[in-house]
Structure 1
Amino acid sequence: MALIIKDTCTNCDMCEPECPNDAISFGDEIYEINPQLCTECVGFYEEPTCVKVCPINNCIIVDPDNIETEDELLGKFAEIHSDLL
């Protein structure tokens, strides 16, 4: 499952530098998460670091349009970070 940043984002800049996949970037108005790069930190951490550091409750949620299993997320992690394996 990729994550999505809701419009309650205050652009605090906390999430972008924490993403190990460089999936977060500034969009037209708020930060956005690229679903092709988001692994919910599977392969790196127990929980998504962007959610952990976000000061706004429930601002970063599961993207209902990009539901993936943990195995799919691990596969995406392996593709993105083949240099680490």
Structure 2
Amino acid sequence: MKEVDFKGRTDLKKIEPHRLEHLILENLKIYAPAARSDIHTRVGLEIHEKKLKRSIDKLVEEGKVFKIGEKRGTQYKLSDKKQ
């Protein structure tokens, strides 16, 4: 059996952007439409809110996620387009 010499705790604070985007997409497959705050709660509150917002904005820009509404009433769902 191989031992791993890992020192430290694991958390989502330093999650790579592509992994965070995948988590967001998986979350929206189950819970769409959803507000950003709800996505944040389900994906992990230790992720900085601005980092989550940037990832969601990128997914919207790429056409993978559709934005519904404006300001506080904004919700997100998966795009109907095939990528």
- Structure showing greater relative contact order (alpha-carbon pairs closer than 8 Å, 6 or more residues apart): 1
TM-score normalised by length of structure 1: 0.30
TM-score normalised by length of structure 2: 0.30
> Larger Cα Rg: Structure 1 or Structure 2?
2
Higher helix share: 2
